[in-house]
Structure 1
Amino acid sequence: MKKIILGVFFILAFGCKTEQPKIASMEEEVKVLASDEFKGRETGTEEEIKAAEYIMGLMTEMGLDPKGHAGTYYQTFTFKPKTDPHQQVGFQETGDSTITGTNVIGFIDNNSSTTVVIGAHYDHLGYGGEGSLYKGEPAVHNGADDNASGVAVLLDLANKIRGTKLSKNYLFIAFSGEEMGLLGSNFFTKNPTLDLDGVSYMLNLDMVGRLREDKTLSVSGTGTSPIWPQVLNASNPGFKLVLKESGVGPSDHTSFYLQDIPVLHFFTGQHEDYHKPSDDAEKLNYEGMRLISSYLLSLVQELDDDEKLTFRKTKNESEEVPRFKVALGVIPDYMFEGKGMRIDGISEDKPAQKAGLQKGDIVVQLGDSTVVDMMSYMRALSAFEPGDTTTVQVLRNDQTLEAPITF
């Protein structure tokens, strides 16, 4: 039955072959990957393997060379899930209670001494579990934005690069195990299928499906090579770029940064459907995804004649994040550049909702602390214990409102 279903998908995706094959559109790819049929693509499940087969079929159709294990497109890794949230997952041989993840890897070999790595994770949360922000009964978390959107842009970019005369080699990786702790990218960088000394830089696409009307695009890792700000701005077709220097973050580029490889992570912002069953295919901005793909093509073309990029270490911003015991129950707008912390979503039955806060409110004060940005908001939050009561001030439609809040 599985082969029949996949056959239908491949027919829909590929259509008739021509001299330059037309692969599936990004809309079609996201619809397949984020379908209930794939049950949220949780790492190690039969449905994740079906997603891997689907991605492999698209890579094969566009003519990418296999660059996984033993002449295949697959690189598998086996691990035992952690039981302690503070322990690190370790890779191991197959055994009882182990899970196997599968990276899918395609390659464009231009016989160059340098290679560009472009990656996106394709796994998601299955029916929810530890990472879910959904409070109802178990339901399929389809992960259209997280991260079928990144995979679709990855494949679109691969097809564009395949049809463009370039000099560097290009390696395209659909990572498994990202949601469980960047496992697929971690494994690849420790067990690479090509020499990492020849990698010039790595581009990571994670949640690029919700480009807003003002075209705000977050790019992290801009401090990992001196050339990044210049080339990003020179190639920019009109995005409102939010540049962040750190090479460390909660996505797969971190694994490459830790190997002294320059990285960039592209992201269109958080939203209320993040890690919920409502992250569905029809909610994506596909025209925005096409704009991002074209932007990345311009970027790699701009850098194609350059030597291997110079690597530079950055401040690890995650080490500066204060630890806190309470939560306001909001989704921050990480793209907001104004003064304060803008709320992009409200969680049900949490302090913010009980205090009457709304999406779009800008928190400017929490207790005695003024809030000017995300870092000052987190510092203010870290001062409170469960059960504490204080006040919060927000800007709403040019009015300053104050409300009592209990953690």
Structure 2
Amino acid sequence: MKQIMVALFVLSFHFKGFSQTFLTAPIRSHIEFLASDELEGRGTASLGEIRAANYIASVFKNASLRPAGTDGSYFQPFEVSIGIEGNAHKLTARNVVGFLDNGANKTIVIGAHYDHLGKGFQGSSLSPNSKNQIHNGADDNASGTAGLLELARYFAGNSVTEKHNFLFIAFSGEELGLIGSKYFTEKPSIPLTSVACMINMDMIGRLNPDKGVIVSGWGTSSMWGKMIPDLAKKAKLKYTVDSAGVGASDHTSFYLKNIPVLQFFTGTHMDYHKVSDDIDKINFEGESQILSLIAGLLREVDKQSNDPDFLTAGNPHTGATTTDFKVTLGVMPDYSYSGKGLKIDGVSKARPGDKAGILAGDIIKKLAGKEIGTIYDYMEILGQHEKGEQVEAELLRGSETKIVKVTF
């Protein structure tokens, strides 16, 4: 049963032709705690991760969400193997899962990962001499976790019984290769057949109004293209789209189970995976605006007579005329790879990468003369090119460096 929590339900109603406005104060409060030095970067299976998980669970409990983890708790533990100073250690991490039960047959999953790089001993820090330095991850992904918590409080306290249930999941192990979301989709606490769609938030704290928000998963359902343009227009929020259901975050795990997905992302920046990703860089008003858009989208999905249809997304970087990505290599990145460069997990036949001779297992170090540190560098480079252009790709195949020519 829903319950208005006066001290926690901190939303204000501003009817300007769109939707609810999320106040910045609680967003800031969540990020201040999650991205504080006290949590030491929320490394997977660390004490900081446990304390963050406890905080998330307390918000779920105060919003009267039902525990939907293991053994009647909010926590879903899973084992991870983490290499520290050359030695592998098996440790326990945990997802945090809260269920808003509206008595419906279908459920919408809303997710965000809450883990980060800890003190630089796990994941892929891009800061020099990063070991034993706290990586607070204010944008990546305390911002998305704060969004998850505020959406949970909104839907739990809005005095409306929607036609869908809502399952709120804070994933761990994302930085190590989407481990937590993969584990959940293999051992779900609700039947995956009951999941209508999955909405993910990863790095939503650095909105640049001129560039807008990046919406991934556009091609996974025909419903998204019918809803988002009008909602974004009413919200006066610019956006670009990525058609792919596969990406470097937890929505991928659900897409691979044939579930329609969307991810919201405000773009990469110079502080990505560095110790400088701190709260002073967060655009709280921008995050509030994005949360209003997502809440509006969820309400629209709930109103429909049919759930979102599932489509196999085609070109992984082409969605609509508003997209920044006009070209693609036709490759599947290895999202569990934590080194520098783009490691290739698969290559589509007769696509530019295949024609250039790129193989699964190759690590692309440079594309068009620009270094690739992360998948976001790769995406940014793609956005700068047109069909028909030819560029060089420098790749590592085993211990051998190769140069190949790619024609988009």
TM range (shorter): 0.7 to 0.9
CA distance, structure 1, for counterparts of residue 402 and residue 188 of structure 2: 49
**2:50 corresponds to:** 49
Q: Does 1:229 align with 2:222?
A: no
> What SS does the aligned partner of 1:50 have?
helix
| 2-structure distance, mates of 1:114, 1:124 | 31
1:380 deviation in Å? 2.3
Tell me the secondary structure at the aligned position of residue 57 of structure 2. Answer: helix
Indicate conservation of the 8 Å contact 2:364/2:372, yes or no. Answer: no
User: Structure 2: where are the runs of 5+ without partners?
Assistant: 11-24, 317-330, 333-346, 348-352, 404-408
Matching residue within 375, 393, 407 for 1:381: 393
Alpha-carbon separation, structure 1, partners of 2:372 and 2:89: 35
How far apart, CA to CA, are the structure 1 residues paired with 2:382 and 2:151?
34
Larger relative contact order (Cα-Cα within 8 Å, sequence gap ≥ 6): 2
Aligned equivalents of 1:281 and 1:376: distance in 2? 40
The aligned residue for residue 299 of structure 1 is 297
Paired residues of 2:243 and 2:315 also in contact (CA < 8 A):
no
1:58-113: CA deviations, max 9, x gaps? 11112211111121100001133479xxxxxxxxxxxx931111100111100000
Instruction: Indicate if the aligned counterparts of 2:5 and 2:62 stay in contact, CA closer than 8 A.
Output: no
Q: What TM-score, normalized to structure 1?
A: 0.74
- Work out whether residues 218 and 335 of structure 1, in 8 Å CA contact, stay in contact via their aligned partners in 2: no
| Equivalent pair of 1:118/1:173 in contact (CA under 8 Å) | yes
Which amino acid in the other structure matches residue 302 of structure 2? D
Percent identity over the alignment is 42
User: d(CA) in 2 for partners of 1:264 and 1:99?
Assistant: 31
Aligned residue identity for 1:98: K
| Match of residue 113, structure 1, among 83, 105, 113 | 105
What CA distance in whole angstroms lies between the structure 2 residues aligned with 1:79 and 1:333?
A: 27
Distance 1:74 1:105 in 2: 6
The structure number with the bigger radius of gyration is 1
Matches for 1:347-358 after TM superposition, within 5 Å: none
Q: CA deviation at 1:221?
A: 0.6
Aligned length, in residue pairs: 329
Aligned to 1:241: 239
Other-structure match for 2:344: none
Alignment of 1:71-150 (within 5 A): 71-81=72-82, 97-129=89-121, 130-138=123-131, 139-150=133-144
TM-score (norm 2): 0.74
- In structure 2, what is the Cα distance between the partners aligned to 1:286 and 1:51? 20
Give the C-alpha shift of residue 234 in structure 1: 2.2
What secondary structure sits across from 1:264 in the alignment? strand
**RMSD of Structure 2 on Structure 1 (CA):** 2.8
* Displacement of 1:333: 6.8
Contact 2:119 2:130 in 1 (8 A): no
Structure-1 residue corresponding to 2:14: none
Q: Which runs of 4+ in 1 moved over 2 A?
A: 17-24, 79-83, 305-308, 315-336, 379-388
Q: CA deviation at 1:20?
A: 6.2
**Displacement of 1:244:** 1.1
Name the structure 1 match of 2:20.
none
Give, in whole Å, the separation in 1 of the partners of 2:105 and 2:96: 22
